Amino acid sequence: MVTLTLKKKPGAGADIPSSRNRPLRSSGMRQRPTLAEAQEQRARQAEELARRPAPSETPRWQDERRPGGRPGPRDARDSRDPRDPREARSGRDPREARRDPRQDPRHDARREPRREDPRHGDRRDPRAARPGRPGIEAPASPLRSVGNAERARQILERASRNPDTGRPQQRQDRPPVQRDPAARPLRSVANPQLARQMVEAAAAATAPARPEQDGERLSKRMTALGLASRREADEWIEAGWVSVNGEPAVLGQRVLPGDRIEVDERAHKEQARRVTILLNKPIGHVSGQAEDGYEPAVALIRPENQWAEDRSGLRWHPGHLRNLAPAGRLDIDSVGLLVLTQDGRVARQLIGDESEVEKEYLVRVEYTREGRLPDEDLALLNHGLSLDGKQLRPCKVSWQNEDQLRFVLREGRKRQIRRMCEAVGLKVVGLKRVRIGSVPLGHLPVGQWRYLRQDEYFA
């Protein structure tokens, strides 16, 4: 059996499309208001804002409550018009968007401490009880308006209260402080060696410092006793040739006046091998280090410059140049006797602060004033001048001939003789040192040198 289904005939309204399938058509561009219309609209909005009541100075979370202390209904707390689509889209009052937060009285009220309501006693705001509760904004904490120190104090005070009574807990007596760091119990440290170092460091930090006045340095004491120079003393101590009260000395050790200092015989032998050289320095060489292109005087200590009549019995050796230093100085334009030595005792004897060794000079001069040098100025040269604000030691100055003076000094300041002569109107033409202590220059030729003999002493 076959079943046939016939289609319905379309009705009269079949050609009319339904509203559901009706095509969307644009409403066209919105016409911009004219200037007059815009000004009229702004004036109307200004009048509406003027008719609205002024905001209260009391914060909304304090003022808009029910008598029981709870927030009022939504209609009482929100003054927005729900029919206004602009106010419905935003979660804040449009008046608050236009208001300057720095001039908002509510902005200042939030920073002030919460005012206590006499009707509720000391009851706190229920919304401030749980600041972390979502959807509720707690009032600003008064801790934010104080410094970090005050905030920390309040936090510590709350933490120290007894949770049962709310009162501060009684402070328990602390155990007595152990002053001896070694007596403190060690905490569990993985490395025992590190633990020992921690204890030793703590003990060193708390140990009383030894006063510097407790004696003097050993090297300084040895120099004062005339045993060696400070450099030699340090070398001997480092080599183990010095002992104090029978115990080996160490660098930097301090000694008392009653301590017994002993020096090994090897140190004396080493000192005896140190040499002192006498040089007749020519013009154009400096006494110390090379400067301004001029060679130092030590550059002349070569085997070919040793004086042929040297009777010391010593011959040049490269080791004699080690630590060879000038004991005194001569200007670059002066000549005469210059001492270079490896022996610290000789250097201290000649240029030490307490040195009394005489140095004799022959000085050729020219008088820059009319006539001849007055006797009064000659007396000033002997004992009446000062340099750089310091009085000079008395010296001996006398005429050798018409144009040459003889100076005998017990000190040696920089360019001392030249400056003394300038003070009385004399110009130095030539200067030669002919004696240091009891050792004369003699017939040693210019530019040559010799060794100091064992029977020669400066003082």
Which tokens is 147 given? 């410094």
Is 331 annotated as catalytic? yes
118: left (phi over 0), alpha (psi -120 to 50) or beta: alpha
DSSP sequence for 70-105: SB--HHHH----TT-HHHHH-SS-HHHHHS-GGG-H
Mention every residue, 6+ apart, whose C-beta is less than 8 A from residue 400. 362, 406
Phi and psi, residue 354, nearest 5°: -100, 20
Give dist(CA 453, CA 386) in Å, integer.
37
Write down the catalytic residue from 125, 259, 310, 331.
331
- 298 contact partners, CB below 8 Å, separation of at least 6: 321, 324, 326, 340
**For residue 129, which amino acid is it?**
A
User: β-strands 426-436, 439-440: how paired?
Assistant: antiparallel
Nearest to 324 by CA among 307, 347, 300, 341: 341
Q: Please give the Cα distance from 279 to 290 (Å, whole number).
A: 17
Q: Strand 359-367 to strand 449-451: parallel, antiparallel, or no bridges (unpaired)?
A: unpaired
Cβ contact 290:296 at 8 Å: yes
Q: What are phi and psi of 376, to 5 degrees?
A: -65, -40
161: helix, strand or coil: strand
Sign for the pseudo-dihedral over CA of 290, 292, 297, 303: positive
Count other Cβ atoms within 10 Å, centred on residue 229: 22
CA 234/CA 259 separation, integer angstroms: 18
What torsion do the CA atoms of 118, 119, 121, 123 make, to the nearest 10 degrees? -120
Q: List, by residue number, the catalytic residues.
A: 331
